[in-house]
Structure 1
Amino acid sequence: MIIRITEKQDLAVLYSIYTSPTVVASSKYLPTVSFEMFYGTIDLHSEYQVHLTHCDDKDVPNGHLGIFLNSMPRTKHTATFVIAVDESARKQGIGHRLVQVLTDQSDNWLNILRLEVDVPADAEDIVKLLEDSGFVVEGQKQTALFRNGEYVDMLMLARVINRD
């Protein structure tokens, strides 16, 4: 298994991962997002986005990490991110490896002090994965996400590095 830079030919497989029911349920994406719209959110040439793909032994993508850097001068030290793992590849440590790469890139290469993400409050596995990697719940947004006909609370998680 390898984690490498995302390439254009990966996008069709990543689209199928991001539109799978479990990923849609834990994200802000609509289940009916078009490939063109999905493709438009991933800019492989942007200096403000870093995209890495986890592949199996046959170089088939089964996970993705997108880091979104902030271009505003006063918040350049912050970033958000997305992580998705193919349903058939869950419980194999891929999410953990992608979070490790996220923190390594942020701490050692991107000069990011604060990583932040919103997660559905009922996504216990995701919250645990992030908490195990140093993220803390900073708050809860009530009825922040409309999912499958219901309003869902979102947890605001962040990982802050103190560089005194």
Structure 2
Amino acid sequence: MEIVIRRTEVKDIDGLCELYSQPQAQAQTLQLPIPSRALWEKRLSAIPDNVYSYVALIDGKIVGNIGFEHVTRPRTQHVAHFGMGVHDDYHGRGVGSKLLETVLDLADNWLNVRRIEIDAFVDNHAALRLYKKFGFVIEGEAIDSAFRNGEFINTYYLARINRN
């Protein structure tokens, strides 16, 4: 099973709508149920220069997505953050690792990013394991930071510092 990573394109709208329609992809991201094709078309047709978006494909099917934003404010140009989703049927197959490796290479070797930030819900154990595997540490917890399935949920703030 080969995981192919490439830049996100407008033609990926249907695949992204399917990915973010999955129960876990919705529950563990800030996406809303039943994603709109028009919303994704708008997002993909106007990606800012400081945002890098990639999809992961297996046998031509979109199974993961990561959006990586390099901060452009003068005093925080060394910072970036990202959001990621993996299709429910492809958890545990290395999709998240491959996507994260892609943006870490970009950050460390091409953009000179020192600090990368990510938020994760406290019950997203798979994502937390993945982030820790790549050197992210929990820096804090936000109480009742998001609303999901009729309840408030806490969020961990994580970061990875590249000291090289």
TM-score, with length taken from structure 1 = 0.91
What runs of 5+ residues in structure 1 fail to find an aligned partner? Answer: none
The one-letter code matched in structure 2 to 1:140 is E
CA RMSD of aligned residues (A): 1.6
Q: What displacement does 1:67 show?
A: 0.6
Contact 2:17 2:35 in 1 (8 A): no
- In structure 2, distance between residues paired with 1:16 and 1:92: 18
**TM alignment of 1:97-108, pairs within 5 A:** 97-108=98-109
Residue in 2 that maps onto 1:39? 41
Identity among equivalent positions (%) equals 30
Deviates more, 1:81-90 or 1:36-45: 36-45
Change in Cα spacing, 1:43 to 1:139, as seen in structure 2 (3 Å) is farther
Q: What displacement does 1:45 show?
A: 4.7
The one-letter code matched in structure 1 to 2:159 is A
The one-letter code matched in structure 2 to 1:67 is F
Residue in 2 that maps onto 1:149? 150
Contact 1:120 1:155 in 2 (8 A): yes
Residue in 1 that maps onto 2:83? 82
Q: What displacement does 1:85 show?
A: 1.3
Is the aligned partner of 1:22 residue 2:40?
no
Residue in 1 that maps onto 2:13? 11
- In structure 2, distance between residues paired with 1:140 and 1:158: 12
Is the aligned partner of 1:51 residue 2:42?
no
Contact 2:121 2:155 in 1 (8 A): yes
Q: What displacement does 1:9 show?
A: 0.8
Q: What displacement does 1:35 show?
A: 2.2
Q: Tell me, what secondary structure is at the counterpart of 1:12?
A: helix
| Deviations, residues 62-81 of structure 1 (Å, cap 9, x unaligned) | 11111112121111111111
Alignment length, in residue pairs? 162
- In structure 2, distance between residues paired with 1:90 and 1:75: 33
Q: Tell me, what secondary structure is at the counterpart of 2:30?
A: coil
- In structure 2, distance between residues paired with 1:48 and 1:54: 20
Deviates more, 1:111-120 or 1:42-51: 42-51
